Amino acid sequence: GAVVSQHPSRVICKSGTSVKIECRSLDFQATTMFWYRQFPKKSLMLMATSNEGSKATYEQGVEKDKFLINHASLTLSTLTVTSAHPEDSSFYICSAGRDRGVHEQFFGPGTRLTVL
């Protein structure tokens, strides 16, 4: 149990367009979802934490208007990269937790975003 999916797994877009990434908890209700970004050969960096029904909490240095996060239901969170630019190219990973803490997180497979 405790499976998290992400869609799409890969996306290539033109500079200036917006891209939406979905994160779903398939067999449990996720009160908290986390969005991470991973650069090549680097660690995962937390971008934001979202609790269902409330606004996301963004980490320092992450632009809220650039990376829009919506967590409208207990099984779905979305990350929209607005007006994407090549420097936004990265691997985006979501995770979902069953409680409001970090102590039991289940990770999605990640989404590779390439902005041309």
Partner 1 sequence: AQRVTQPEKLLSVFKGAPVELKCNYSYSGSPELFWYVQYSRQRLQLLLRHISRESIKGFTADLNKGETSFHLKKPFAQEEDSAMYYCALSGARGTGFQKLVFGTGTRLLVSP
Q: Which of 12, 26, 72, 102 binds partner 1 (CB under 8 A)?
A: 102
Which distant-in-sequence residues (6+ apart) come within 8 Å of 10 by Cβ? 111, 112, 114
The residue range among 11-19, 23-31, 34-42, 64-72 that interacts with partner 1, by the rule CB under 8 A, is 34-42
Task: Tell me the two tokens of residue 52.
Answer: 């269902």
- Cα radius of gyration rounded to whole Å, the chain: 13
CB 55 within 8 A of CB 108: no
CA 15 to chain centre: 20
Pick between residue 16 and residue 53 the one whose CB is nearest to partner 1: 53
CB 38 within 8 A of CB 47: no
Sketch the per residue contact string, 62 through 91, with partner 1: x for CB under 8 A, - otherwise.
------------------------------
Q: Does 43 bind partner 1 (CB under 8 A)?
A: yes
CA distance 99 to 12: 34
Q: Which of 70, 82, 105, 114 binds partner 1 (CB under 8 A)?
A: 105
Q: Does 51 bind partner 1 (CB under 8 A)?
A: no
Q: Does 40 bind partner 1 (CB under 8 A)?
A: no
Residue ranges that bind partner 1, judged by CB under 8 A: 4, 34, 41-46, 49, 59, 93, 95, 100-105, 107-110
